Structure 1
Amino acid sequence: MEPSKEAIAVRVMRLNRQILGKVTSGPSKLSKKIDRESLLDALTVLYDECNEDPVKKCDELVRIFLDKYRSTLAELRRARVCVSDFEMLQMIGRGHYGEVHMVREKQTGDVYALKSVRKDEARKRVSGAEDEREILATGVPHWIPRLQYAFQDSSNLYLVMELCSGGDLSGLLSRRNHPLSERDAAFYIAEVAHALKALHAMGFVHRDVKPQNILLDRCGHVKLGDYGSCARLSEGGCVAGATADYVAPELLDACGAHTVCLEYCRRANTAISACDYWSLGVVAFELVTLKLPFSSGEDDSVAKILSNIQRYERDANASPPFEPLPGGPSNTWRAFVSGLLRVSPARRYNYLDTLAHPALRHLALHAIRATRYSCPAARPTRGARS
């Protein structure tokens, strides 16, 4: 082994920072693999494997190791976060791979959202649980819920994160029971666009943007949630488990029958950020109509939705199926949604196109969280449970 050119103290300090998860610059491959929790997980697994009868009976050194660290491991298990530290208050969400509960930390009374995923289901996920944890732990806190704790037991993976006490955009639409004004819808679309920009800058694409995953904090501002279908921008493949109503045509499971998808898949097997802006276009349509553009009801199959998208693609003069004027939204909003719902990813609106559109002109777009603009969903709360 070649001697290091760095002083011992420098190397020790860097290792300590990596273990504590405080690396902020420089090579990051090691820091993503080695942190306090992964080291404790590795030590626990090693101890449990050595504690199996066939192993400890045949090796004296193994028995010495077990005796030496028995009390240490017992203390570590007591000190680490576990599900019994929390009181389950109520279920607030259920997805393709797990459930989300509102929980209270028993000793402090702090309230969080706890997502649990069964390990056998986690293996089926499009993205790894590590990716979701990385996004929550390192994402921009304005737009992505903060991760508080991550832990596991023999059956489940757990993510404890900031509770967005305003609910989600789907719940807001249900409570109102009538469409949003274009002015209010523009506020949410602009904030989701900012959240997508932050996510894409981290090297991930969401692939399941929909009202249920657009969370609202206690002031009514947006935080993008549920990264179970996300992928790294360097990876690709069709989306398994995402919601077909909102999935871009290039990512639909049935893409073998879709001409645009065939062309896309031949060019590259990579995920691109344009797919999230298609989903944003579907949300923009839904906010002002309470309808979905490519399905007539909740019972429509993926094949039916795909057929509707194909019909939309084949018609050179097609536009999103708003009701005829003078009913429905303005021409400005129709043009905005049409730009987001372009079938070709290369022609679809991106982040800059979205923010530059006249439909969002009334907003202070780059200071949207700092302005005194009244959030449409903002309502007083008397605590997390309210």
Structure 2
Amino acid sequence: MGALEPGSVFAGYTIERLLGVGGMGEVYIARHPRLPRSDAMKVLAAQFTRDDSYRRRFEREADLAASLSHPGIVSVHDRGEADGRLWIALELIDGIDLSALLTTSPGGLPPAEVARAIAEVADALDYAGARGMVHRDVKPANILLARTGHYLLTDFGIARMGPENSDLTGTGMTIGTIAYASPEQMRGLPVEPRSDQYALAATAFHLLTGAQPFTGTSPVAVIMAHAQQPVRSVRQHRPDLPPNVDAVFARAMAKSPQHRFATSRDFAAAFGQALAVSAPHPLAGTANSDRHAPTVVGPGPIGPGRRPVAPRPQGAGIASPRTAPHRYAVLVGGALAVVMVLVVAGVLGVRAFRNDAGAAEAAQLPRRPVTPALPALDKRPDAPVWTLQDIPGPPGSQAETVSALGGDSDIVLVGRTARLPDYDTIGYLDIVDANTGRLRDGAQPIVVDTSERSLRSCVVGASHAAAACHLAGSSIRSDAVIVVDLAAGRIINTVTTPGNIDSLTVAGERFVFVDRPDRPNPPALRSIGMDGRELPAISWSDNRPSVGSMETRHSIDVFGQVRLAMIESAPDPAQPLSKWEFRVIRLEDGTEVLRRETLDKIPDDNWNVFIDGFVFDDGQSPTGIFDRNGTRTADLPSGWRPSVQPTLGEAGLAETSVPTAIKTDGNKTTYAGISPRNGTVLWQNQSYGADDDPERLVLRGLGTLIMTYDMSRMVDAYTGEYVIHPASPSDCTPLGTDGSRVAVAIDLSYTGKRLEVWDGDGDLWEITSEQMPVAIGGKVYLGNLRLF
């Protein structure tokens, strides 16, 4: 079968004209059989259709590509088979590819425009990467500049869709790919999103300078240069560029993926900053209508591709949400752009593997969120729910900070500080009705001595009889816990400690925290009743360090959602026959629900926690799933082990809605949700580490979601399906989720704080402020505002 003639009908589409011919087939402009539009139709060569394994892969991957919905990725509209040939219909773009654009600017493009192109493509790559899709062929020819001024990424997975042919090298990659591909890809190793980051950086180098980052007399020489040589300075070609641009390229094009930026967005941000580009504008067409302008409550930053907005005072109205992304059809007049989106062959768990037994078991389990559900996050609020009334401090004082410190769905404790004329500070604690924003039951602000300690966080008892707040030492090395009678509105006791306090939590009718004095003095698990009286602590009188170190022999980890503490003690050097001890303590009453003695230390990755219990492997019996009372309810299936629990200070809760487990095979890690009732595998996904090592896959909980890999993946705890696409996963604190969207807080250091909301398509809306957003009891607060 030869090329299709204009006017002929294929698979219901009317062929308008031939766009191009390649080793895999032809591309046509074809009129849709029912809709008033033309698509780019790729008709594959007959030999691909006859290959059953290829056919299955084509159908699966085309379906995955069709699931992508992002303004920076060309859409897949349809697929099928007709007259013995597979075909796929794609969005038709009015634009020019950047390789063609470079021919008109051989010395490189304007830095501001390159920064904008890289930022928009990085956003698309991270979106796809969070769904397990790696492009594998990022290069100027696969980036389109539409007439609207937007950049779009094309040809997902093209390098892996067909067998080697005349324009492929021995590595299975096109000649064009070699100039930009990562060392691991050219070695045939598994690729990951940071492989695309490398190629994006190589593309940025070419766009800036007009020259490829590595050159050679043969493809092999180019491959060797990528593998062994440092990237050269862009200033060899563009001496007008700032020197620190080289450092950004050196990191993004590091030989090992682990040494690159965490995400392509991080690279793009550093690249724009190094170029001193803050907010580049499109070359032509409309403004970025599919990019939203951030709300600014006080001064805030302006990111790439966003329009600046005048600052608003605290509590001011909030701008409208983003407009719906535009899609662009029609063909370019000028340079020819063949726009194809196929799809990546390597899938990192976009869709969870679930068998019938796992799905049936998941349907029987109650959905147990680890954090309260937030209200619907589909749109940016027009105004705060309430603004806390101004409460004047002493005469001549100046208000400094206001922040919500803790509480539940009914009560929020708000801390305020005021600076006195002599520069000392005084603190106040307000007991506020979370629904109205008024002081609760006419309560007056409680004065707190903050001359040596500052208010850090608070928890409220379930009966609302009392609250406890952590005061962190500022000018002295001693923390304290104050207990507040909520009905009387007064402090009834202050408990000081010789060192630091962490993990203040409420469990039943007591407040629990860890007292950590200076080493090698051992920590203590301390408790205070609702009446303010201190209860017996779990502590040790010895201060003998572990053998060969100055570390204490004892460690304590507290998990507030499941209300358990894990205590580990090393052998006593004074007792030659003593062993390692591992204990699990129920916080409500201090009961020891599990105790194990072992000759060797139990590794940290041999246990983890979930909302109703814990998973534990003592190395002597099958790995068990236990409830909060220490009752063994099930075993992990053979071959599985507990997933790694987050360490203190890592973002997110260690508890997840269901037990989680992993197993590794080379650099592949399979992670799964497990039924706590009977050990059934509910679902399983796969992830790949860099080089030959498996990924350190830390799993955290948020609502009924499970967050993985520094928040780069968020899956439903009961089905394993991807729910939310993180827009900028690094350096953020998760606040909560409404089930289909997630809110996070980001500290922008000297430029402010930001609340971002992400949905399945990425960044939905954001608010920038001088205050850090916090989530308490299913509500989000920003300074003296309750946002929602």
TM bucket (normalised to shorter chain) is 0.5 to 0.7
2:227 and 2:255 in contact (8 A); partners too: no
Equivalent position amino acid for 1:241 in 2: M
Among 162, 180, 184, the residue aligned to 1:250? 184
Among 354, 360, 369, the residue aligned to 2:267? 354
**What is the alpha-carbon distance in structure 2 between the residues aligned to residue 169 and residue 326 of structure 1?**
19
2:14 paired with 1:86? yes
What is the aligned partner in structure 1 of residue 150 from structure 2?
Answer: 221
**What is the alpha-carbon distance in structure 2 between the residues aligned to residue 293 and residue 127 of structure 1?**
37
| 1:19-47 C-alpha deviation (Å, 9 max, x unpaired) | xxxxxxxxxxxxxxxxxxxxxxxxxxxxx
Shift of 1:227: 2.1
What is the aligned partner in structure 2 of residue 117 from structure 1?
Answer: 44
| 1:315-350 C-alpha deviation (Å, 9 max, x unpaired) | xxx342434387253223222222211111110123
What is the aligned partner in structure 2 of residue 320 from structure 1?
Answer: 232
**What is the alpha-carbon distance in structure 2 between the residues aligned to residue 98 and residue 128 of structure 1?**
17
Change (3 A) 1:241 1:139: same
Is the partner of 2:234 in helix, strand or coil? coil
Bigger drift between 282-291 and 176-185 goes to 176-185
2:95 and 2:331 in contact (8 A); partners too: no
Is the partner of 1:205 in helix, strand or coil? coil
What is the aligned partner in structure 2 of residue 307 from structure 1?
Answer: 224
Equivalent position amino acid for 1:334 in 2: D
Equivalent position amino acid for 2:130 in 1: A
| 1:179-221 C-alpha deviation (Å, 9 max, x unpaired) | 1111110000001100101111221111111111112333121
Change (3 A) 1:191 1:382: closer
**What is the alpha-carbon distance in structure 2 between the residues aligned to residue 285 and residue 170 of structure 1?**
13
Change (3 A) 1:177 1:303: closer
**What is the alpha-carbon distance in structure 2 between the residues aligned to residue 84 and residue 126 of structure 1?**
21
Unaligned runs of 5+ in 2: 1-8, 162-169, 282-287, 294-304, 308-327, 334-788
Is the partner of 1:150 in helix, strand or coil? strand
What is the aligned partner in structure 2 of residue 8 from structure 1?
Answer: none
**What is the alpha-carbon distance in structure 1 between the residues aligned to residue 17 and residue 99 of structure 2?**
21
**What is the alpha-carbon distance in structure 1 between the residues aligned to residue 171 and residue 224 of structure 2?**
17
**What is the alpha-carbon distance in structure 2 between the residues aligned to residue 320 and residue 228 of structure 1?**
29
Among 268, 284, 303, the residue aligned to 2:204? 284
Shift of 1:160: 0.9
Equivalent position amino acid for 2:222 in 1: I
Is the partner of 1:157 in helix, strand or coil? strand
Is the partner of 2:96 in helix, strand or coil? coil
What is the aligned partner in structure 1 of residue 746 from structure 2?
Answer: none
**What is the alpha-carbon distance in structure 1 between the residues aligned to residue 218 and residue 48 of structure 2?**
23
Bigger drift between 320-329 and 154-163 goes to 320-329
Is the partner of 2:95 in helix, strand or coil? coil
**What is the alpha-carbon distance in structure 2 between the residues aligned to residue 120 and residue 168 of structure 1?**
29
1:186 and 1:359 in contact (8 A); partners too: no
Shift of 1:121: 3.9
Residues 1-386 of structure 1 mapped to structure 2, 5 A cutoff: 82-83=10-11, 85-91=13-19, 93=20, 97-105=24-32, 110-121=37-48, 123=51, 128-229=57-158, 240-242=172-174, 243-252=177-186, 255=187, 265=189, 270-296=190-216, 300-312=217-229, 318-324=230-236, 327=239, 329-351=241-263, 352-357=265-270, 358-359=273-274, 362-363=278-279, 369-370=290-291, 384=331, 386=333
Bigger drift between 168-177 and 281-290 goes to 168-177
2:93 and 2:330 in contact (8 A); partners too: no
Bigger drift between 105-114 and 271-280 goes to 105-114
Change (3 A) 1:220 1:128: farther
Shift of 1:105: 3.7
Change (3 A) 1:120 1:114: same
Change (3 A) 1:374 1:177: farther
**What is the alpha-carbon distance in structure 2 between the residues aligned to residue 293 and residue 104 of structure 1?**
41
Bigger drift between 120-129 and 154-163 goes to 120-129
Equivalent position amino acid for 1:354 in 2: F
1:289 and 1:328 in contact (8 A); partners too: no
Change (3 A) 1:157 1:187: same
Structure 1 residue ranges (4+ consecutive) displaced by more than 6 angstroms after TM superposition:
124-127
Q: TM-score, normalised by structure 1?
A: 0.60
**Computing the radius of gyration over CA atoms, which structure comes out larger, 1 or 2?**
2
Equivalent position amino acid for 2:37 in 1: D
Shift of 1:272: 1.6
2:114 and 2:207 in contact (8 A); partners too: yes
2:112 and 2:280 in contact (8 A); partners too: no
Q: TM-score, normalised by structure 2?
A: 0.31
**What is the alpha-carbon distance in structure 1 between the residues aligned to residue 227 and residue 204 of structure 2?**
20
Shift of 1:103: 2.8
2:291 and 2:306 in contact (8 A); partners too: no
| 1:258-282 C-alpha deviation (Å, 9 max, x unpaired) | xxx7xxx5xxxx4322110110111
2:136 and 2:195 in contact (8 A); partners too: yes
RMSD: 3.6
| 1:143-195 C-alpha deviation (Å, 9 max, x unpaired) | 22222221212432111111111132222222444411111100000011001
Shift of 1:134: 2.2
Change (3 A) 1:155 1:244: farther
Change (3 A) 1:368 1:209: farther
2:38 and 2:330 in contact (8 A); partners too: no
Shift of 1:384: 3.2
2:215 and 2:222 in contact (8 A); partners too: yes
**What is the alpha-carbon distance in structure 1 between the residues aligned to residue 21 and residue 234 of structure 2?**
31
1:98 and 1:118 in contact (8 A); partners too: yes
**What is the alpha-carbon distance in structure 1 between the residues aligned to residue 178 and residue 56 of structure 2?**
18
Change (3 A) 1:359 1:121: farther
Unaligned runs of 5+ in 1: 1-80, 233-237, 256-260, 313-317, 376-380
Change (3 A) 1:322 1:130: same
Bigger drift between 238-247 and 186-195 goes to 238-247
Equivalent position amino acid for 2:15 in 1: E
Shift of 1:306: 1.7
Shift of 1:249: 0.7
1:96 and 1:241 in contact (8 A); partners too: no
| Richer in strand (by share) | 2
Which is bigger in relative contact order (C-alpha 8 A, separation at least 6)? 1
Shift of 1:115: 1.5
Shift of 1:305: 0.7
1:127 and 1:229 in contact (8 A); partners too: no
Q: How many residues align?
A: 272
**What is the alpha-carbon distance in structure 1 between the residues aligned to residue 236 and residue 279 of structure 2?**
27
**What is the alpha-carbon distance in structure 1 between the residues aligned to residue 40 and residue 67 of structure 2?**
17
Equivalent position amino acid for 2:267 in 1: T
